[in-house]
Amino acid sequence: MARVVVVRDLVKEYPGRRALDGITFEVEEGEIFGLIGPNGAGKTTTLRILATIIKPTSGYAEICGKDVIREGMEVRKLISYLPEEAGAYSNLSGLEYLRFMASFYYDDDESIRGAVESAIAISGLGERLKEKTSNYSKGMRRRLLLARTLMVRPKLAILDEPTSGLDVTHAYHLRRVIKSYSKDHGTTVLISSHNMLEVEYLCDRVALIDQGRIIETGSPELLKSKYSAANLEDTFMKVVGFAQGS
């Protein structure tokens, strides 16, 4: 199976702070890979580097063989990114927003229309898409943005805390969409979350990240078995305990 993401010894330093301390991991084609860890562990920084928003201090990262530092524009054609705190243009309707975003990925009207139709189905917002996005609830806006992320059929969908702050109904809808979309289209998904149960439900493999370092990688089942834990939350606490103790 082809490797979609390759990250080697990624370091990111800010004045007085090292956000990433030599991160290394790989993501295979078609898998849902989760970066899990507490707030400030380095998840968002890693995703932002892969999304070409910021540059690492050192290290290497590629997506489908394209260097994220040197070939930013090529990488942006392959990915679709959903930031943790994302908004839509409040003066545009949901449909206008989707059409606007799709136009950057496709040249012909038919493809643009196809992408928007797929987003309409993914979002499940129906007629509400004709309203200005300023009228949307947080959950509706998140559904619109996830639809925008997936409608362009990216090689890699990067989702930063996709269900953070959502009520159970919207969070449930989003998780189901991510899982089924990846399965149906073979889309590779890199997801970050501090919700361990969500990650356990969604991800084929996970990397546990703490203080800018990856401390364990594997499938949720493998990790739970390795650390004799009931769930990923227990696993994380045990791994962190080991890491701090070692």
Partner 1 sequence: MPKGLRLLVIKEVKDLLRDPKILIGMILFPALILPLMGAAINISTGSLVEKSSGPLTVYVLDEDGGTVAQRILGFLQDNNVEIRLVRGSYEEAIKNVAGGGVLMVLPEGLSQKIESGARGEIMIYYGFKEFSILESLNAQRMSGLLGGFENILVRGLISENVPGANPDSILNPLLVNEKSVIKGVAQPISPYVLTNIVRMQGLMGPLVIMIVLILAMQVAATSIAIEKEAKTLETLLTIPVSRLNILFGKLVGSVTIALLATIANVFAFTYYVSSITSQVTSSIGNLDLASVGLIPPPEGYFLLGLTLFGALVSALALALTLGTLAQDVRGAQSIIGIVIVPIFLPTIFLMMGDMQTLPFSIQMVLYAIPFTYPVLASQSLITGNYAPILAGLVYMAFFTLFTLYLAAKVFTTEKVMTGRFSFKRRRL
| Minimum separation from the CB atom of position 179 to partner 1 (A) | 23
CB of 99 to partner 1, least distance (A): 10
Q: How far is the CB of 154 from partner 1 (least distance, A)?
A: 10
Residue 55 makes contact with partner 1 by CB under 8 A: yes
The only residue of 6, 11, 69, 86 in contact with partner 1, by rule CB under 8 A: 86
Q: Nearest 5 degrees, angle CA 219-CA 240-CA 15? A: 105
- How many angstroms separate the CA atoms of 51 and 26, rounded? 15
Among 5, 79, 129, 239, binds partner 1 (CB under 8 A): 79
Is the Cβ of residue 39 or residue 228 nearer to partner 1 in the bound state?
39
Instruction: Please report how the helices 138-151 and 94-102 are oriented relative to each other, as an axis angle in degrees rounded to 10.
Output: 20
Q: Within 89-118, which residues bind partner 1 (CB under 8 A)?
A: 89-92, 96, 100-101, 103-105, 107
Using CA atoms, how far apart are residues 41 and 1, in angstroms rounded to an integer?
Answer: 29
Burial class (CB in 10 A: 0-12, 13-18, 19+), 199: buried
Give the shortest CB-40-to-partner 1 separation in angstroms.
16
Minimum CB distance to partner 1, residue 161 (Å): 13
Q: How many residues bind partner 1 (CB under 8 A)?
A: 32
Which pairs from 29-32 meet CB under 8 Å and 24+ separation?
29/1, 29/2, 29/3, 29/4, 29/186, 29/188, 30/1, 30/182, 30/186, 30/187, 30/188, 31/188, 31/189, 31/204, 31/205, 32/178, 32/179, 32/182, 32/188, 32/189, 32/191, 32/202, 32/203, 32/204
Nearest CB to partner 1, comparing residues 55 and 176: 55
Instruction: Return the number of the residue (105 or 201) whose C-beta is nearest partner 1.
Output: 105
Q: Is 77 in the site for partner 1 (CB under 8 A)?
A: yes
List the one residue from 80, 182, 187, 188 that touches partner 1 (CB under 8 A): 80
The CB-of-196 to partner 1 minimum distance in angstroms stands at 25
**What are the tokens at 179?**
């899982």
Residues 165-224 that bind partner 1 (CB under 8 A): none
Say how far apart CA 181 and CA 192 lie, in whole Å.
17
Residues engaged in binding partner 1 (CB under 8 A): 14, 48, 51-55, 73, 76-77, 79-83, 85-92, 96, 100-101, 103-105, 107, 145, 148
